Amino acid sequence: MDHHRVRVAAVAVVLAVWLQLPAASRGQLQVGFYNTSCPNAETLVRQAVTNAFNNDSGVAAGLIRLHFHDCFVRGCDASVLLTSANGTAERDAAPNNPSLRGFQVIDAAKAAVEQSCPRTVSCADIVAFAARDSINLTGSVSYQVPSGRRDGNTSINQDALNNLPQPTFTAAQLVASFANKSLTAEEMVILSGAHTVGRSFCSSFLTRIWNNTTPIVRTPATTSPLTISRRLTLSLTGISTEY
């Protein structure tokens, strides 16, 4: 197993154990919750994710992050999917808008599941299944997803701002943010391995590298900010591991 797969596998294990928090309680979840009520639910979600992935592999990263951003705010209750007429929902908050992606995949999966078994499978479970399928498609590792979550009907942008860790956070702030969700520093580091895949706006990390024109990290004197930014972007998008 290469380093990439080891990292993805570790993230999968922690995601499987911790990011399954339903809104109310973790105890009621069970693997195969829909075995009798909607036996093809997980297959239909898998198909929707695979279709989207074949069209744009980047969507897998979006779906992994969607699960994280759902679970960290009010538990895993699909509150991140809710829209509001006046831009006051979680998805309108700065950490989600405009960077969070993959909503249309969840919509497609939900439509397929509804056609097969109306009003049976929660969106929160679909988000959790889709994250697992994304991990599987990008890292070839898999895990079983206990299901039976209930969807919430409240979504407040301030909750997203209060609960999601910011890219400007210090290490201590990050540890505190995860401790707030009963996650250890080690689990935080493992989960952060999810950044093995995906993209980021340069504004989220450039100040970690440059203080105006002064490099914060050691680089060859001849390397321009633009080159470093380009290399990092390539690295973050998985196109290259250079740098």
Work out how close the CB of 181 gets to ligand HEM at its nearest, in angstroms, rounded to a whole number: 10
Which of 177, 237, 175, 178 lies closest to 202 in space, CA to CA?
Answer: 237
Which of 169, 228, 233 lies closest to 195 in space, CA to CA?
Answer: 233
The verdict on 53 binding ligand HEM (CB under 6 A) reads no
Taking each helix axis from N to C terminus, what angle separates 59-71 and 103-116, rounded to the nearest 10 degrees?
A: 80
Q: Among this protein's residues, is 69 annotated catalytic? A: yes
The verdict on 197 binding ligand HEM (CB under 6 A) reads yes
Q: What is the DSSP letter of 55?
A: H
The verdict on 68 binding ligand HEM (CB under 6 A) reads yes
Question: What is the token pair recorded at 114?
Answer: 């509804």
Work out how close the CB of 118 gets to ligand HEM at its nearest, in angstroms, rounded to a whole number: 31
CA gap 194, 64 in Å, rounded: 8
The verdict on 61 binding ligand HEM (CB under 6 A) reads yes
In order, the DSSP letters of 184-215 are: -HHHHHHHHGGGGS----GGGTHHHHEETTEE
The verdict on 175 binding ligand HEM (CB under 6 A) reads no
Closer residue to ligand HEM (CB): 152 or 198: 198
The verdict on 192 binding ligand HEM (CB under 6 A) reads yes
CA gap 125, 19 in Å, rounded: 11
The verdict on 165 binding ligand HEM (CB under 6 A) reads yes
Query: Which of 142, 200, 219, 229 lies at the binding interface for ligand HEM (CB under 6 A)?
Result: 200
Q: Interface residues for ligand HEM in 87-126 (CB under 6 A)?
A: 99, 101
Closer residue to ligand HEM (CB): 34 or 138: 138
The verdict on 232 binding ligand HEM (CB under 6 A) reads no
Q: Which residue has the tokens 């509150």?
A: 79
Backbone angles phi, psi at 211, to 5 degrees: -105, 95
Question: What is the token pair recorded at 243?
Answer: 């740098």
Residues that bind ligand HEM (CB under 6 A): 11, 15, 58, 61-62, 64-65, 68, 99, 101, 165-167, 169, 174, 188, 191-192, 194-195, 197-201, 204
The set of catalytic residues is: 69
